[in-house]
Amino acid sequence: MTSCGTVTVVDPFDPSAVSLDCELSAHEVERGDSVDLELNLTNSNNATAVVDVDVRVDNTTVDTYSETVTTSNTFTVAVVLNDVGEKPIGAEIANVQEYNT
């Protein structure tokens, strides 16, 4: 056999190719009010991703959202704040999987 070279076969889906940005609608609210958290997911894969996002207040997960993302998806969630004081609010990707129909 005459060698024609080698081919590297890679998985077309890379969970690390999915990223998350977030932005708060306000930086001061009264106790019991909610603040909107805008979440923007970006998927650089050629395949659609299913992404679980944890919303966290004071390093505690208060809710988890599951979104299907082809290239990008922006959604807004309301976070109710019942305790007085400065509260760090954020979001993190908890899980990423390739979407299978």
Q: Is residue 8 part of a domain?
A: no
Q: What is the pTM of this model?
A: 0.86
Please check whether residue 51 lies inside any domain of the structure.
yes
Domain that includes residue 55, residue range: 15-98
Tell me the average pLDDT of the chain.
Answer: 94
Specify whether the CB–CB gap between 50 and 67 falls below 8 A: yes
The span from the CA of 77 to the CA of 79, in Å, is 6
90 lies in a domain?
A: yes
What pLDDT was estimated at residue 78? Answer: 95
Q: What is the count of structural domains for the chain?
A: 1
> Has residue 37 been placed in a domain?
yes
Return per-residue pLDDT of the chain as tens, 101 residues.
899 999 998 778 999 999 999 999 989 999 999 999 999 999 999 899 999 999 999 999 999 999 999 999 999 999 999 999 999 999 999 999 999 87
Instruction: State the DSSP code for 36.
Output: E
Per-residue pLDDT tens digits for 30-56: 999 999 999 999 999 989 999 999 999
Q: Residue 86 belongs to a domain with what CATH number?
A: 2.60.40.10
Establish if 1 belongs to a structural domain.
no
